[in-house]
Amino acid sequence: MNQTTATAPDGSGAQLELVDVVKKYPGQSRPAVDGLSLTVPAGQTVMFVGPSGCGKTTSLKMINRLIEPTSGQILIDGEDITGQDATQLRRSIGYVIQGGGLLPHMSVAENIGLVPGLLGWDKARTKGRVEELLEMVGLDPAVYRDRFPRELSGGQQQRVGVARGLAADPPVILMDEPFGAVDPITRQRLQDELMSIQEELQKTIVCVTHDIDEAIKLGDQILILREGAEIAQYGAPEEILAAPADDFVADFIGSGSKLKQLSLLRVGDLPLSQPQTCRVGESVDEVVRRVEAAGERSVVILDAQNRPKEYLFLRSLKRHQTVPVFSHELQTVVDQRSTLSDALDAMLVSSHGGAMVTGGSRGDYLGVISYDTVTEHIRTLQTQTGQIRAVPSAGWEAS
């Protein structure tokens, strides 16, 4: 994301506007949300951040009226939704929560098909949509559609939660700490997947997070709130990092903000190397001959769909006759939209000093980014500018 266009004319998102929205809970002396006004352009992702209790979740939940505003207007594409039927409204706005929020007694397909079913879609259309969404979130429909939530990992449950939020193709999607419950590497993968889905779909996304790095990575805009949901600063991550509005914002984004600018640099901005590759099922003898002839000691293994499966030293491959199928979850893969700080994290668990890079919504293999390339790039930027600054994206935005 982080695209600079203010609107997405071809996308399916809608403009969202909050006008002087107030929420006063019974018995509270001060409103939890005290006159929040905000415009989110169609197709953009806005991240809500701020200290605990500042009113992020209350603000989010008023948009689909899980919490009723005390006063104010909420407009989607210019239409005030505060007077609409709340149940209907909730079916037309995607909602993704921490852990996925899946119904335990329903299969994956039933969970994803819930809202389309309520909207009266026929069975064939819902089934087609479920398959499409499972593919989109990286889960093989044949393997996962009939499983129950308890038969999925935390990351897989979260993926299904995202698919469910997208099911009825809503223009606005609300996310409440969507990746808060998963480990850091899985979180990074899920963020990458969300970015690639969003690049394709251009929804209007409002996302609450506690993680400022997540906000910098995913947000086209970041909304920093203080108590009473008062806006401390609303702007693009680059703007906020470069010029925090006041001490509150500066403290909130933290003293490591120069380092945080690493989160603005994307893997796709750097050159990738192209080590030898091979396919699952190829003869190991032939692969070894080819790789050794190229003077290399390891090889990237791709499946029939051109997705990376493993980055293996030849000595490990030689234990097999044909290139085997690897089904474990790879930790050393990053999307080309990943930040350099994510790439560095992935490289820390790689024995090759590099991470495999994928692109597109299907995760096609593109090449390898090496630790040396990243550190060299950072050094160059520091020498050139005295600090790390965002650089214009070279390739991936156009692809």
12 lies in the binding site for ligand ATP (CB under 6 A): no
Contact criterion met (CB below 8 Å) for 107 and 123: no
Distances (CA, A) of 106 to 150, 161, 165, 182: 10, 13, 16, 22
Looking at 45-53, 285-293, 377-385, 386-394, which segment touches ligand ATP (CB under 6 A)?
A: 45-53
Q: Compute how many residues bind ligand ATP; rule: CB under 6 A.
A: 11
Looking at 54-62, 90-98, 255-263, 272-280, which segment touches ligand ATP (CB under 6 A)?
A: 54-62
Using CA atoms, how far apart are residues 135 and 137, in angstroms rounded to an integer?
6
Binding mask 72-111 for ligand ATP (x = CB under 6 A): ----------------------------------------
When binding is defined by CB under 6 A, the residue of 55, 101, 171, 219 that contacts ligand ATP is 55
Question: Of 54 and 346, which CB lies nearer to ligand ATP in the complex structure?
Answer: 54
Binding mask 149-188 for ligand ATP (x = CB under 6 A): ----------------------------------------
Amino acid letter, residue 73: Q
43 lies in the binding site for ligand ATP (CB under 6 A): no
Question: Of 8 and 54, which CB lies nearer to ligand ATP in the complex structure?
Answer: 54
Report the interhelical angle of 184-201 vs 340-348 (nearest 10°). Answer: 140
Distances (CA, A) of 294 to 6, 274, 301: 47, 12, 16
Question: Of 3 and 57, which CB lies nearer to ligand ATP in the complex structure?
Answer: 57
Using CA atoms, how far apart are residues 52 and 24, in angstroms rounded to an integer?
17
Binding mask 14-33 for ligand ATP (x = CB under 6 A): -----------x--x---x-
Q: What is the DSSP letter of 228?
A: G
Q: Copy the structure tokens of residue 75.
A: 């407009």
3-state secondary structure of 17: strand
Q: Copy the structure tokens of residue 104.
A: 């335990």
Question: Of 58 and 298, which CB lies nearer to ligand ATP in the complex structure?
Answer: 58
Between the two ends of the chain, the Cα-to-Cα distance in Å is: 13
When binding is defined by CB under 6 A, the residue of 58, 156, 233, 339 that contacts ligand ATP is 58
Token pair 């995760």 is found at: 363
54 lies in the binding site for ligand ATP (CB under 6 A): yes
52 lies in the binding site for ligand ATP (CB under 6 A): yes
When binding is defined by CB under 6 A, the residue of 11, 38, 56, 133 that contacts ligand ATP is 56
On the 0-12 / 13-18 / 19+ scale of CB atoms within 10 A, 68 is: exposed
Task: List contacts with ligand ATP (CB under 6 A).
Answer: 25, 28, 32, 50, 52-58
